[in-house]
Chain A
Amino acid sequence: MQSKLSDIELIDQTLAGNQAAYADLVKRHQRFVFTLALRFAKNREDAEEIAQDCFIKAYRSLSVFQRQSKFSTWLYSIVYTTAMTFLRKKRVDTDSIDDENTYIQLENSSLAHDINSAENKSRSYYLNQAITQLLPDDAAIITLFYMGEQSLDEIGKTLGIEPNTVKVKLFRARQRLKEKLEHNLKHEVKELI
């Protein structure tokens, strides 16, 4: 059973020394933080490590949280920086948004799957599969906008970019996601949408 207290109330309780309040905060945000980490890491083990690291960092820095933005926005910015550091350590090039060579392997593996199995798979499966084929930046923006229900301003704060840039990136990310869906599903995409 999760606490019905607001994020700020839980933060105040945590700062007063109540660790159980922080456990409630973790439970509340863990699914989205883990999903966002998964957009960068591409495998569950690494995503778990990133997500765990984020919550520990957030705990350490809770006293310096300015409360000018939502706790979730602040937390997602920690996820972003932690994930980028993680990727840099893993030497995965995420600098160029147009360089898709890194993901050729993933794309080829998706081509190998049996198109005829479409009937047996759920829509969310195909959508998630297409998202994993996107570049981390694209996948993160789509996830923040649709799952995190973050505004363009909030995504801008999380990623450290201007809202107008977010708008352009979101448009491109959606185009790429649509292309991936069309590519993976061929004719079934018409049924999907």
Chain B
Amino acid sequence: MNTIEEKLWNYIDGTCSDEERKAINILIAQDEVYRRKYEELLALNQEFSKMEPDEPPMAFTYNVMEAIRAEHAQQPLKAGINKRVIKSISGFFIVSIALLLIYMLSTVHLTPVNISGHIPDNLRLPDIKNYLSKPMLEGFLFFDIVLGLFLFDAWLRRKDVLKQV
């Protein structure tokens, strides 16, 4: 059940319904208690509206920007890698895998006889031994590990930022 004050505050804030507003209009006009209370709350509301925010110290903006600059300076270089580089590398691998698949499938001659659950005899995988040497494989593996760690770090950073917000 709303008290007189609660109804009047809703009326002043404009959060009451049309019917309630009309009813309160009549009460203010006819009821002395309502009228006095309304005038008191209205004066109080006007006083609250005049409140001024406090002034922070003069160097506040400077301090904030300095803190941000300091944070930027501490950022490791790997966090500054251009996203285009990452996208280009990803694109290279996707295209390579796609080409390899296309080549593999082009060597397969599917006939109804071949579709029997067995690997067709004429399926030939490209002889990758000719293309990939041991140092090349090691380099490839090392690159994958670095890329994996970078993505894991980026994920952890994003999680940390969201947690702070």
Contact = CB atoms under 8 A, between A and B. Distances in A.
A64 B60 contact: no
A78 B55 CA distance: 19
Nearest to B40: A193
Contacts of B54: 31, 34-35, 38, 44, 47
Interface stretch (A3-11, A48-56, A91-99): A48-56
A30 B60 contact: yes
Interface residues of B, number: 32
A192 interface: yes
Contacts of A19: 65, 68-69
Centre residue among A23, A81, A174 by max chain B CB count within 10 A: A174
A120 interface: no
B161 interface: yes
A127 interface: yes
B44 A193 contact: yes
A48 B60 contact: yes
B50 to A, nearest CB: 7
A123 B51 CA distance: 9
A176 interface: no
Contacts of B63: 52
Interface residues of A, number: 44
B61 A26 contact: yes
Given A124-B50, A142-B48, A193-B47, A23 B60 contact: no
B6 interface: yes
A71 interface: no
Interface in A39-63: 44, 47-48, 51-52, 55-57, 59-61
Given A60-B164, A78-B165, A171-B6, A52 B64 contact: yes
Contact of B53 (A31, A61, A78, A152): A31
B60 A34 contact: yes
A47 B54 CA distance: 11
A127 B51 contact: yes
Interface in B48-86: 48-57, 60-61, 63-65, 67-69, 71
B18 to A, nearest CB: 18
Nearest to A32: B53
Given A32-B53, A127-B51, A167-B15, A23 B161 contact: no
A175 interface: yes
Contacts of B162: 61, 64
A34 B53 contact: yes
B51 A124 contact: yes
A105 B65 CA distance: 37
Interface string A1-34: 0000000000000000001001100110011101
